[in-house]
Amino acid sequence: MAIPTAVKVTPPRIEPFDVQRLRKDFPILQTRINGKPLVYLDNAATSQKPQAVIDSLVNYYRHENANVHRGLHYLSERATKAYEEARRKVRAFLNAKEEKEIVFVRGATEAINLVAHSFGRHFLKTGDEVLITGMEHHANIVPWQMLRDEKGIVLRVVPIDDAGELLTGEFQRLLNERTKLVSLTHVSNALGTVNPVRNLVALAHRQGIPVLVDGAQAVPHMEVDVQSLDCDFYMFSGHKVYGPTGIGVLYGKASLLEEMPPFQGGGEMIRSVTFEKTLFADPPLRFEAGTPDIAGAVGLGAALDYLTGIGRDRVAAYERELLGCATEALEGIPGLRLIGTAREKSGILSFVLEGVHPHDLGTVLDQEGIAIRAGHHCAMPVMQRFGVPATARASLAFYNTFEEIDRLIWGIIKADRMLS
Amino acid sequence: MADLRDLYQQVILDHSRKPRNAQKPKKANRLSEGYNPLCGDQIHLYLELDGEVIRDIGFEGAGCAISKASASMMTASVIGKTRGEALSLFQEFHDLVTGENGNSPSPSDLGKLAAFSGVTEFPVRVKCATLAWHTLRAALEGKGMAISTE
């Protein structure tokens, strides 16, 4: 039988990852430092912003600015629309079931504090256990210690191995009938380890224990689907995902958020107030007291549009190649020890160089226009686990190039020659 | 443009590689701990104070080249000095590395410590250069811990 000529099979179009074209979207990447082009490798601290995000902030303040959820006037309606549109974008980005599960906060730190305050103080009692891991950022340690000191809960820590991987056997062993919450990071900011969150959530759920996942280092680099993970809380910071500072997201399952008391009191979070009694609003507004960072939310929406426009799968694939190349090159430097060599890793390269303190390395690289982080990365227990006071950390984004990895390597070799 | 060779002068590199007085003096009677939470640098400073005079001094700790060299050179420069002399030397050193007070002291006052003049061009490193000195001041002003000599 002859194939009708009208039917044509078109092969799927796979666009190459044009990093040079994407770099043009980020004006700050044109910066020169000491006459040398900036090599920005501090993306785990904060990411740079594309023009689309910068424009969205200007546009909001130029054309839409008013307070939200209150005014009857034109601009208030526009601002409210823009703010709630951003919430819709976040819902789609995380594939949350409902918009009311998306609470705008200042960042991942505030989101964890919100859960510790509202969920923790309300539902946890003396002797109850919160299980965290040995690779947490201080933001997922300190709020629980504060709750421990206030409520007498017990904080337990799942240890990690020499590669920086979570000991899942220990995780299972530590789960017990007193465990009332598991709170763990999706991706370690100091080690790059990607935790098998879906499996860990399933293990905790088997015993009816809710799970909080800190996604600050995951969301910029991979697809995150909160329904597929089935976690109970998830949070991230806007500024690490190419959005503005001062805005972040708490995702919480509706069933949990509905049962939780407010975090802060004030305007916006109420249904009615008399001096005798206040009725609180439903989620998400119950947790958004005061005028929110409206422009920040709008900017975050623009950032998520930008990232999904490129494609998170393509970003992840490209960053994986960069990471592989950088890992191999760093391992080739004599005296260099990578801290964090998990099998599943995101683009974070923490390392120490024999005879050269990370601080000195950071200064030498800075003179070359290369921005890295040197220090404990707000993860002092991780540093203690690996017996180092600090590490140097290069962290990748999709706008980094293979040439930039070369420059990093040469910078390290220069520092080594000069200082060791 | 700031030059790395101004920061990492040979004498500084020498002291960071082979720090002097990097041990606890036998007759130490005072301990002070310095810590920079920003970068994790820490120093334990031990003094043998004899009335007003620093008879002996030594340190233990971990830190960058600048903080190690500074601790080493600080200890070498205050041995035998009185409390008052050491504190005024700190003031001069502080002015040197921060570039404060405009009239930076003449290098002859500071001797080898003048090698730290390059730090002014690297403001984030001022804390590295002054950690050992702040720790010394805490010890001299009685904020450190007394060590039992038993």
pLDDT, tens digit (0-9, with 9 covering 90-100), for A68-87:
987 789 999 999 999 999 99
Residue located via tokens 């600080």: B74
Q: Which residues of B touch A356 (CB under 8 A)?
A: 65
Average pLDDT, chain A: 95
Lowest mean pLDDT among A3-12, A33-42, A268-277, B66-75: A3-12
Task: Tell me which residue in A34, A364, A390 faces B40 most closely, judged by beta carbons.
Answer: A390
**Which structure tokens are listed for A283?**
């989620």
Residue A155 has pLDDT above 60, yes or no: yes
- pLDDT at residue number A73: 94
* More confident site: A32 or A274: A32
- pLDDT at residue number B37: 77
Predicted structure pTM score? 0.91
Mean pLDDT of A171-178: 98
CB contact under 8 A, A363 and B1: no
Distance of CA A319 to the CA centre of its chain: 16
pLDDT digits (tens, 9 = 90+) for A302-345: 999 999 999 999 999 999 999 999 999 999 999 999 999 999 99
Alpha helices in A190-280 (DSSP H): 197-206, 226-229, 254-259
CB contact under 8 A, B40 and A34: no
Distance from CA of A290 to the nearest CA of B (A): 32
Mean pLDDT of A139-148: 97
Q: Which of residues 8-37 of A touch B (CB under 8 A)?
A: 34-35
Give bridge partners of residue A252 from the DSSP assignment: A233
**What is the Cα Rg of chain A in Å?**
23
**Which structure tokens are listed for B1?**
């443009």
B69 lies within 8 A of chain A by CB: no
pLDDT digits (tens, 9 = 90+) for A43-64: 999 999 999 999 999 999 999 9
Average pLDDT, chain B: 89
Distance CA A246, CA A49 (A): 14
3-state secondary structure of A187: strand
Distance CA A70, CA A77 (A): 9
CB hemisphere CA count around A213 (13 angstroms): 29
Buried b (16+ CB within 10 A) or exposed e, B54-74: bebbbbebebbbbbbbbbbbb
pLDDT digits (tens, 9 = 90+) for B93-139: 999 999 886 655 565 678 899 999 999 999 989 999 999 999 999 99
Distance CA A338, CA A392 (A): 10
User: Sorting pLDDT into bands at 50, 70 and 90, what band is A366?
Assistant: very high
- pLDDT at residue number B150: 41
Distance from CA of A108 to the nearest CA of B (A): 21
A374 lies within 8 A of chain B by CB: yes
**Which structure tokens are listed for A218?**
């995951």
- The DSSP letter of residue A166 is B
Residues of A with a known catalytic role: 378
Task: Tell me which residue in A357, A363, A380 faces B63 most closely, judged by beta carbons.
Answer: A357
**Vertex A184, ends A179 and A189: CA angle to 5°?**
160
- pLDDT at residue number A34: 87
| Cα→Cα distances A205→A121, A134, A198, A254, Å | 21, 21, 10, 17
Distance from CA of A378 to the nearest CA of B (A): 9
Closest-CA residue in chain A for B66?
Answer: A360
Distance CA A143, CA A111 (A): 10
Residue A141 has pLDDT above 50, yes or no: yes
B42 lies within 8 A of chain A by CB: yes
Distance from CA of A33 to the nearest CA of B (A): 10
Distance CA A184, CA A166 (A): 10
CB contact under 8 A, A360 and B8: yes
CB contact under 8 A, A383 and B41: no
Residue A37 has pLDDT above 50, yes or no: yes
User: Sorting pLDDT into bands at 50, 70 and 90, what band is A351?
Assistant: very high
- pLDDT at residue number B143: 73
Mean pLDDT of A398-417: 97
Percent of chain A with pLDDT over 70: 96
Helix (H) or strand (E) holding A211: strand A211-214
Lowest mean pLDDT among A184-188, A270-274, B143-147: B143-147
**Vertex A96, ends A94 and A101: CA angle to 5°?**
115
CB contact under 8 A, B2 and A367: yes
Distance CA B100, CA B102 (A): 5
User: Sorting pLDDT into bands at 50, 70 and 90, what band is A127?
Assistant: very high
Per-residue DSSP letters for B71-129? Answer: HHHHHHHHTT-BHHHHHHHHHHHHHHHHTTTSSPPPHHHHGGGGGGGGGGG-GGGHHHH
CB contact under 8 A, A383 and B38: no
Closest-CA residue in chain A for B1?
Answer: A34
Give bridge partners of residue B47 from the DSSP assignment: B30, B57
* Interface test mutation site (partner A, options B1, B3, B4, max chain A beta carbons within 10 A): B4
CB contact under 8 A, B40 and A383: yes
Peptide bond preceding A283: is omega within 30 degrees of 0, i.e. cis?
no
- pLDDT at residue number B12: 94
User: Sorting pLDDT into bands at 50, 70 and 90, what band is A89?
Assistant: very high
Distance CA B64, CA A50 (A): 35
- pLDDT at residue number A302: 98
pLDDT digits (tens, 9 = 90+) for A100-119: 999 999 999 999 999 999 99
Give bridge partners of residue A371 from the DSSP assignment: A40
